[in-house]
Amino acid sequence: MNSHCLLKFVAAWLLIAAVSTEAQQDPDKKWELGLGVGAVAGPDYRGSDEYRSFISPIPYIVYRGKIIRTDREGIRGNFLRTDQYEFTFSAGAAITPDADQNKLRNGMPELGSTLEIGPSFNINLTGVDFSRGWHMQIPWRAVFAIDAGESGYIGSVFQPQLVYRNRLNKWTFTYRAGVTYASDDYHDYYYSVNRQYITETRYYFEADGGYSGWNNHMALSRSFNYNGAKTRLALFIRYDNMSGTDFKESPLVVTDHSYRGGVAFIWVIK
């Protein structure tokens, strides 16, 4: 399996399968294992109007250790946690399948899929704990591009957000609303145009760091039991708005609106 296929495999789990672990868990079970399939669709990058999709198998792994856990936030480490606040170390991923086919970036270095990793300080606002009600997440993550023309560290993002969780009948509902601030090198990676890539329709542009837009994210998940078989269904949709950002004047940005969504079906084996 090459690095791009491997990243699809990992990211599908981080972006979708982790959503399905937000509820219906047995806290006495340290491990849960399963298999599934997930589909994700989204733009090549925020600001692009060219969309791609991919389908990937999902390794469903839930581990509830004292420090390292895979739960509602994906892979993370709990270093300080109470029902009112927590300090965690978490990871995320984003896929850009076939971004080399993007017409606006024709002749430019290929964009890579990315892995994000970093700390987050979370504050419970209304719930008894973090599984219900409103809380605030204040994460900072370093971002790394993989399997691209310019792989490696590409900058950092700061994404404070409000999160709401509740049960809707047998479904677990999660809503997120947040803003993003990014470093110079992160915006440069996606939106700058160096002089050697200038064309008749693509002018020179140097992106600065700063405000990177706001977003809304909604997810639903639930468990099903049929003749002893335990399965889970999860789906999400995310909207990003880039109006008011410094990079919106880049020739690589053609829209202020970005949508991403996905669905996963998982069979829990153990």
Low-confidence ranges of the chain (pLDDT < 70): 1-29, 63-80, 148-149
Distance (Å, whole) CA 103 – CA 190: 14
pLDDT for the residue 180 = 96
Residue bearing tokens 């950002």: 245
Look at the alpha carbons of 220, 11, 111, 180 in this order and tell me if their dihedral is positive or negative.
positive
Residue 17 per-residue DSSP state:
G
The answer to whether the beta carbons of residues 118 and 89 sit under 8 Å apart is yes
Q: How far apart are CA 36 and CA 61, in angstroms?
A: 11
What pLDDT, on the 0 to 100 scale, is given for residue 264? 87
Distances (CA, A) of 247 to 54, 100, 187: 28, 21, 7
Residue 231 pairs in a beta bridge with 224, 267
Q: What is the pLDDT of residue 240?
A: 97
d(CA 98, CA 28): 42
pLDDT tens string 177-203 = 999 999 999 999 999 999 999 999 999
CA pair distance 61, 42, nearest whole angstrom: 25
Burial of 80 (0-12, 13-18, 19+ CB in 10 A): exposed
**Structural domains in the chain, sorted by start:** 3-268 (2.40.230)
pLDDT tens digits, one per residue of 221-257: 888 887 778 888 889 999 999 999 989 999 999 999 9
- Interatomic CA distance for residues 61 and 32, integer angstroms: 6
The pTM is what?
A: 0.85
What pLDDT is recorded for position 81?
72
pLDDT for the residue 224: 87
**107 Cβ neighbours under 8 A, 6+ residues apart:** 197, 199
CA distances from 148 to 41, 49, 69, 100, 260 (A): 20, 20, 30, 9, 21
Work out whether strand 171-182 and strand 229-241 pair parallel, antiparallel, or are unpaired: unpaired
In eight-state DSSP terms, residue 46 is: T
Q: What pLDDT score was predicted for residue 265?
A: 87
The per-residue pLDDT for 148 is 66
Strand partners for 235: 220, 263
Q: How high is the pLDDT of residue 254? A: 96
Chain Cα centroid distance, residue 49:
19
DSSP string, 196-255: GG--SS---B----EEEEEEEEEEEEEEEEETTEEEEEEEEEEEEE-TT-GGGGSTT---
Residue 29, pLDDT score: 65
Alpha-carbon gap, residue 157 to 96, rounded angstroms: 18
Q: What are phi and psi of 101, to 5 degrees?
A: -90, 0
